[in-house]
């Protein structure tokens, strides 16, 4: 990778004057070269001032590389030579207008009007109402080919999204996913902040990843303000993050069991998921971890009695989860439905830039806790859990391996003293700086990027939920599958709509 770029680390702020202003051609070429050498495009977004800010995540080196470049109304698309950029380029066009010329499937992401004054990337008039979901969709033509359209409102208690399948009988040729229904303006509202409501909006960027997103947000603000939370707060954040992972992974394995009609694990895990949410509530009063993480530290500690009670409950849940999940993986009819279904090949995962559980299920050992450690992960080593088949079974198995690891981690964290100094005061943010927060949430890495202006207020705040990278993985998994396997494949990814829509 080129040494033109500014090299930084997770949770370390850099002065904007040290972030190079490259020409767009040079920056694009550097991205293509770095991605082909194994880096991942973590961010390719407008800064609101006519530039693109690019972040390359180098997991092997534990480094983050940042550069920026001025962009006009049109520029040659990066996507044909770097497919990972496809959604970032569409997002950039929707938010700030630059047209990626040569993008193979250039359309809006979240169905909203351009943020800044100027021509719309799709030539829509300023007074034209933007109707969500009314976009061009890929269409297969031919005899016996039919189209299945689902959503935005679905049959269950789930978030809205539109799915369109091109089918030949049962066989799916192509699935196209159009979201944006949950778009509520989180990034746009953060500009000029942090405002009093900003933290609450980050807690609600994706409710099931409250701790992941809030930690990434706190990490950015703490880096920009140049403060370090007390060690106890770091341990408490890690405990919260692992409890969040446990609750969601346990729930997902139950949901997968339900989707193949295996009722015992579906029922047991539905309840056990609640046990982990209740452990989170034992720490902070909220089952989703609201009100715990604050810039500078955390709100609540745990004395010895509380830690002992939580450990006791953790061990009880561990016994029941182990029994329930072993039942799942020892049942041949479950294996018959999990194995060789919804396969994503490793080269597809790399090209699409998949992250987190879905990527590890393709055999790639990446985990931000290991590759870009902050806080408690600096002392506590976490090895990525991998499995190589890229199918539903692999995604389920990676979750189980991570459940085992997280149970162990929480057990160890609860053995440490978790009270004392919990929080340090937050000074104002340093002007003209940039910081990146990268936290391995339960789906994968949650990336937050903050830029400050001369007054120390945020001029741009970017949130990248792992789902933003991984929805394409679901579409790839469905190729040549039966449409009846969609619920199972979908559940094996269990991606966030609101984290993507923001």
Partner 1 sequence: MKVALFERLSQGHQTSRYPAVLPALPDRLRGRPTVDAAKCPPQCRVCVDACGVQAIALDPMTERPNPRVDLGKCLFCGDCEEACPTAALRFGPEHRLATSRREHLTVQQGHEYALAEQLGAELMRLYGRSLKLRVVSAGGCNGCEVDVNVLGTIGWDLGRFGISYAASPRHADGMLVCGPVTRNMELAVRKTWQAIPDPKICIAVGACAIAGGPFAGHPEQLGGAAAVVPVDLFVPGCPPHPLTILDGLLRLLGKVRG
List residues near partner 1 by CB under 8 A. Answer: 110-112, 131-133, 152-153, 155-160, 180-186, 188-189, 195-201, 203-208, 210, 264, 267-268, 270-271, 273-274, 278, 281-288, 290-291, 299-300, 320, 323-324, 327, 330-331, 496-498
**Nearer to partner 1 among residue 333 and residue 428 (C-beta):** 333
**Nearer to partner 1 among residue 330 and residue 381 (C-beta):** 330
In three-state secondary structure terms, 60 is coil
Please say whether the beta carbons of 302 and 236 come within 8 A.
yes
Q: Closest approach of Cβ 482 to partner 1, in Å?
A: 21
Q: Closest approach of Cβ 157 to partner 1, in Å?
A: 5
Other beta carbons within 10 angstroms of residue 432's beta carbon come to 15
**Nearer to partner 1 among residue 12 and residue 282 (C-beta):** 282
**Nearer to partner 1 among residue 110 and residue 469 (C-beta):** 110
Tokens of 2: 């080129």
In three-state secondary structure terms, 417 is coil
Q: Closest approach of Cβ 312 to partner 1, in Å?
A: 14
Tokens of 361: 């299920």
**Nearer to partner 1 among residue 63 and residue 94 (C-beta):** 94
Please say whether the beta carbons of 120 and 103 come within 8 A.
no
Q: Closest approach of Cβ 335 to partner 1, in Å?
A: 15
**Nearer to partner 1 among residue 69 and residue 293 (C-beta):** 293
For 146, the enclosing helix (H) or strand (E) is strand 145-150
Distance CA 95, CA 103 (A): 16
Please say whether the beta carbons of 53 and 45 come within 8 A.
yes
Query: Angle, nearest 10°, between helix axes 392-414 and 486-493?
Result: 30
Single out the residue of 53, 55, 44 nearest to residue 9, CA to CA: 55
Distance CA 402, CA 385 (A): 6
**Nearer to partner 1 among residue 29 and residue 191 (C-beta):** 191
Q: Closest approach of Cβ 48 to partner 1, in Å?
A: 17
Q: Closest approach of Cβ 407 to partner 1, in Å?
A: 17
Q: Closest approach of Cβ 329 to partner 1, in Å?
A: 12
Please say whether the beta carbons of 477 and 342 come within 8 A.
yes
CA distances from 427 to 176, 218, 296 (A): 46, 13, 9
Q: Closest approach of Cβ 341 to partner 1, in Å?
A: 22
**Nearer to partner 1 among residue 73 and residue 303 (C-beta):** 303
Could you tell me how many residues make up the chain? Answer: 502
Q: Closest approach of Cβ 402 to partner 1, in Å?
A: 20
DSSP sequence for 397-431: HHHHHHHHHHHHHHHHHHTS-B-S--B----PPPT
**Nearer to partner 1 among residue 132 and residue 231 (C-beta):** 132
DSSP sequence for 313-357: HHHHHHHHHHHHHHHHHT-HHHHHHHTTSS---HHHHHHHT--HH
């Amino acid at each position: 990778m080129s040494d033109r770029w500014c090299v930084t680390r997770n949770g370390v702020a850099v002065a904007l004057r040290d972030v190079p202003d490259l020409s767009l051609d040079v920056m694009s070429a550097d991205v293509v070269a770095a991605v082909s050498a194994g880096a991942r495009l973590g961010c390719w977004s407008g800064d609101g001032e006519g530039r693109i800010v690019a972040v390359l995540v180098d997991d092997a080196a534990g480094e983050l590389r940042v550069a920026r470049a001025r962009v006009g109304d049109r520029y040659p698309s990066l996507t044909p030579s770097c497919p990972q950029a496809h959604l970032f380029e569409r997002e950039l066009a929707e938010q700030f207008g630059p047209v990626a010329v040569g993008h193979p499937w250039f359309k809006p992401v979240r169905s909203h009007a351009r943020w800044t004054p100027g021509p719309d990337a799709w030539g829509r008039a300023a007074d034209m109402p933007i109707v969500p979901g009314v976009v061009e969709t890929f269409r297969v033509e031919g005899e016996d080919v039919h189209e299945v359209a689902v959503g935005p409102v679905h049959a269950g208690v789930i978030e809205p999204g539109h799915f369109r399948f091109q089918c030949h009988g049962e066989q799916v040729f192509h699935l196209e996913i159009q979201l944006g229904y949950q778009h509520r303006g989180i990034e746009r509202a953060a500009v000029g902040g942090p405002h009093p409501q900003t933290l609450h909006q980050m807690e609600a960027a994706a409710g099931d990843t409250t701790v992941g997103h809030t930690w990434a947000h706190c990490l950015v603000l703490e880096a920009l303000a140049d403060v370090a939370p007390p060690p106890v707060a770091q341990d408490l954040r890690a405990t919260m993050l692992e409890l969040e992972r446990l609750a969601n992974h346990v729930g997902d394995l139950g949901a997968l069991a339900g989707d193949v009609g295996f009722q015992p694990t579906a029922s047991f895990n539905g309840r056990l998921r609640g046990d982990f949410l209740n452990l989170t509530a034992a720490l902070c009063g909220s089952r989703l971890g609201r009100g715990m993480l604050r810039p500078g530290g955390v709100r609540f500690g745990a004395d010895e009695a509380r830690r002992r009670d939580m450990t006791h409950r953790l061990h009880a849940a561990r016994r029941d989860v182990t029994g329930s999940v072993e039942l799942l993986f020892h049942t041949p009819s479950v294996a018959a439905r999990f194995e060789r279904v919804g396969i994503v090949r490793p080269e597809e995962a790399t090209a699409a830039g998949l992250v987190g559980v879905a990527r590890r299920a393709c055999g790639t050992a990446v985990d931000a806790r290991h590759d870009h450690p902050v806080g408690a992960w600096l002392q506590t080593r976490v090895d990525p859990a991998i499995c190589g088949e890229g199918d539903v079974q692999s995604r389920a198995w990676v979750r189980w391996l991570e459940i085992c690891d997280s149970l162990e981690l929480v057990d160890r964290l609860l053995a440490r003293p978790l009270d004392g100094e919990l929080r340090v005061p937050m000074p104002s943010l340093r002007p003209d700086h940039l910081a990146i927060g990268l936290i391995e949430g339960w789906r994968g890495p949650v990336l937050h990027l903050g830029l400050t202006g001369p007054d120390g207020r945020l001029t741009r705040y970017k949130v990248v939920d792992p789902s933003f990278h991984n929805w394409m993985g679901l579409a790839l998994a469905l190729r040549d599958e039966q449409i009846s396997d969609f619920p199972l494949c979908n559940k094996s990814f269990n991606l966030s709509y609101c984290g993507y829509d923001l």
